[in-house]
Structure 1
Amino acid sequence: MLPVLVAGLIALSPLPPARAAEPPAGYVEAMRWYEAQARAGNARAQFLLGLSYEQGLRGAEPDAAEAVRWYRKAAEQGVPEAQAKLALALQFGRGVAADPAEARRWYGKAAEQGLAGAQYNLAYLLEAGLGGPRDTSRAIYWYEKAAVGGVSRALTALGGLHARGEDGQQNLREAYKWLILASEAGEPGTADMLRQLAGEIATEDREAAESDARRWRAAQGR
């Protein structure tokens, strides 16, 4: 399963008093304003400008290379959404030479700032051994973070990892818990996985997993 990360438009951070507080009315004027702010060093504007190049919102064809250029500028200033978009470009070679190791590094920076999509993608690279050594323990850690952040496919990934018991760490109770949660979230295929696992897990472990799932939901306010 290839990871997907979608970044939407986000509001600009408050600007210093010397700059305009908000873009002018009108699409063309607003885009010029964002570009001026980006060239002046405003990180959020740089991210938005990168999105406009990626999506072809400037009245021209999409320009992946120019998008990457602006994502990198914003990423270097610590914008997590830009870090994640740069990582995605590096992972798949969109507008830049593919570099899984660099993708892992930038996903890591965005993940540390709490961006759930980046946490999931980082976990995927760690699980698959892309861009560095395979590390299922760290993958589980980041999948759990992503699950708390609302990435439902992380629930399925956790169920699968614990069920397979890679690196000698099979835990059917944990697998059943995560698959319950994934199924409730509507993740495709998880209901069948649950039924299969129900025939392999001890009754007491299944009941404990159901309790674990209820506690997890309560802890997340769900």
Structure 2
Amino acid sequence: MGNRAVGPLRKPRRLAVAVLAALGLIALAGAGVAAETDSPPITDAARLWPDIGSRLEQGMAAFKAKHYAEALAQLTPLAEQGNADAQTYLGWLYEEPLVTITATGETPAFVPDNAKARMWYEKAAAQGQAHALNNLGSLYFLGRGVPEDQARGITLFRQAAAKGDLQAQDNLTMIYYNGVGVAKDTQAALMWCERAATQGDPEALRFLAAQTLAGEDVPHDPTRAYILVLLSPSDDPDIAKMRAALEQQLPANIQQRAHELAAAWHPGQPLPTTDQTRGALHPL
């Protein structure tokens, strides 16, 4: 989820693959769990999304379409069988405070329950599911369904971030930058921010660009800031302002070189550097 919850933290992101692929969760069977070989039962999800093959994907598609009862019916059996992705997604489903399953004249099929969310996150986290570690960390850090324990939350964020979870890396960036639950440590904040930016995370790129342009805790470097701006979401108004200001400052040849570097870059590669603007772009 993209909304901010308390202080620097965002509430956990919705997990994703197939129908929610933009958020990056890989839909694989959990550790030690065989992938399904039979066809899913004929349900509303199968009727509404006949091209979606696995029950996990059907559950996620149902959730995205706000068919919450169907999502619960699809995901719960997989989670009970040990599928870590289904467990993590089901944890998020229970945690979401705005989700309430209702039917006319009937008691809701389920209501959000942070204790159940924690249970499913713990099961997935025990299998090493990175986003489950992040979401469990959020529960502890914010005291939602468990006694508040910021130290434990930060430990879980670190475990998730070390596995590459973008949300955890973003959380640690702001935790260390603002000194929430830990001593303020801008170098640790920038380290986690750089890791997230290297994966192409828009928020990390935006934050790193602003810091580099302002020269806050990093050397003032308009050229690198411009490269980061070019890698950031173009529809962000703050990015647009930074870009316009930098294009008034930087020579045309530096701008052209920065555009070449930004166009050639792909998430997972080291971020382009100012030094690279001084030479011709090597053929890929």
What's the offset of the Cα at 1:209?
A: 6.2
For 1:146, which of 196, 200, 222 is the aligned residue?
A: 196
> Closer, same or farther in 2 for the Cα pair 1:30/1:173, shift >3 Å?
closer
Q: Deviations over 1:95-126 (max 9, x none)?
A: 22333332322222122212223222222222
CA deviations over 1:57-77 (Å, ceiling 9, x no partner): 682110112202221232132
CA distance in 2 between counterparts of 1:9 and 1:178 reads 26
* CA–CA separation in structure 2 for the residues paired with 1:86 and 1:80: 10
Instruction: Return closer, same or farther for 1:32/1:189 CA change in 2, 3 Å cut-off.
Output: closer
2: CA distance between counterparts of 1:88 and 1:214? 39
Tell me what 2:88 maps to. Answer: 47
- Whole-angstrom distance in 1 between the partners of 2:39 and 2:9: 34
Tell me which residue corresponds to 1:104: 154
Task: Tell me the equivalent position of 1:82.
Answer: 132
Q: Which residue of 2 aligns with 1:220?
A: 266
Residue 8 of structure 1: aligned partner? 15
Deviation at 1:207, TM superposition (A): 5.3
In structure 1, C-alpha distance between the alignment counterparts of 2:114 and 2:39, rounded to whole Å = 24
Asked if the contact 2:212–2:218 (Cα under 8 Å) also holds between the matched residues in 1, the reply is no
**In structure 2, what is the equivalent of residue 34 of structure 1?**
78
Q: Does 1:182 align with 2:245?
A: no
Amino acid at match of 2:213: A
Q: Which sits farther off after the overlay, 29-38 or 71-80?
A: 29-38
Higher helix residue share? 1
The code of the aligned residue for 1:50 comes to G
5+ unaligned residues in a row in structure 2: which ranges?
18-26, 44-69, 102-107, 268-284
Give, in whole Å, the separation in 2 of the partners of 1:142 and 1:188: 24
Distance 1:149 1:196, change over 3 A: same
- 2:117 is the alignment partner of 1:67: yes
Letter in 2 for 1:123: T
1:211 aligns with 2:211: no
1:44–1:190 distance in 2 versus 1, CA, 3 Å: closer
Secondary structure of the corresponding residue to residue 237 of structure 2: coil
Q: Tell me the distance in 2 between the aligned counterparts of 1:46 and 1:141.
A: 30
Name stretches of at least 5 consecutive residues in structure 1 with no aligned partner.
Answer: none
- 2:157 and 2:180 map into 1 onto residues whose CA distance is 12
For the pair 1:116 / 2:166, whether they are aligned, the reply is yes
Aligned partner (choices 220, 223, 226) of residue 170 of structure 1: 220
State the distance in 1 between where 2:253 and 2:150 align: 41
Range with bigger deviation, 51-60 or 23-32: 23-32
RMSD, aligned α-carbons: 3.4
Give the counterpart letter for 1:82 in structure 2. A
Q: How many residues align?
A: 214
Divergent runs of 4+, >6 A: 17-20
Contact 2:211-2:218 within 8 A present in 1 as well? no
Residue 240 of structure 2 corresponds to: 191
Q: Percent identity?
A: 29
CA separation in 2, counterparts of 1:148 and 1:133?
A: 25
* Residue in structure 1 matched with residue 49 of structure 2 by the alignment: none
Per mean C-alpha deviation after superposition, the further-off stretch among 87-96 and 22-31 is 22-31
TM-score of the pair, normalised by structure 1: 0.75
SS in 1 for 2:144: coil
